[in-house]
């Protein structure tokens, strides 16, 4: 996975807008964040909500354009290409591990 962190207000506000479409394995990590929108997006995305320990606490495998999704317990959010519900557990575990390693360095 290629993880890009959006940790400033302007980077989080821009999010996935005005950039090339995501590629397989690419993740945008919005931190801090507990709510995202898909207004202006052309494609569905998968959304992972994480707690303060970077553990995935909620998954939305396919969020279509023009929606708002939130998880008030979340401290950060990861966005990536849509996944199947069957993939969500594996991707969640991999994402949690990679983000924990990324914040430890």
Q: What is the pLDDT of residues 49-86, one digit of tens each?
A: 999 999 999 999 999 999 999 999 999 999 999 987 77
With H, G, I as helix, E, B as strand and everything else as coil, classify residue 63.
strand
Which of helix, strand or coil describes residue 28?
strand
Find out whether 46 and 16 touch, Cβ atoms under 8 Å.
no
Looking at residue 75, its pLDDT comes to: 96
Look at residue 104 in the predicted model and tell me its pLDDT: 64
**pTM for this one?**
0.87
In the chain, domain spans: 2-104
pLDDT, tens digit, 9 for 90 and up, residues 15-40: 888 788 888 889 999 999 999 999 98
Length of the chain equals 105
Q: Which fold has domain 2-104?
A: Jelly Rolls (2.60.120)
**26-71-104 Cα angle (round to 5):** 50
Please check whether residue 76 is in contact with residue 30, taking contact to mean a CB–CB distance below 8 angstroms.
yes
């Amino acid at each position: 996975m290629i993880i890009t962190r959006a940790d400033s207000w302007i980077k989080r506000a821009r999010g996935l807008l005005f950039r090339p479409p995501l590629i397989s394995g690419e993740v945008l990590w919005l931190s801090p964040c507990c709510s995202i929108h898909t207004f202006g997006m052309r494609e569905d995305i998968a959304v992972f909500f994480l707690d303060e320990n970077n553990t995935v606490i909620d998954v939305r495998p396919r969020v279509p354009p023009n929606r708002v999704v939130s998880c008030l317990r979340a401290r950060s959010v990861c966005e990536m290409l849509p996944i199947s519900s069957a993939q969500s557990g594996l991707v969640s575990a991999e994402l949690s591990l990679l983000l924990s390693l990324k914040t430890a360095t």
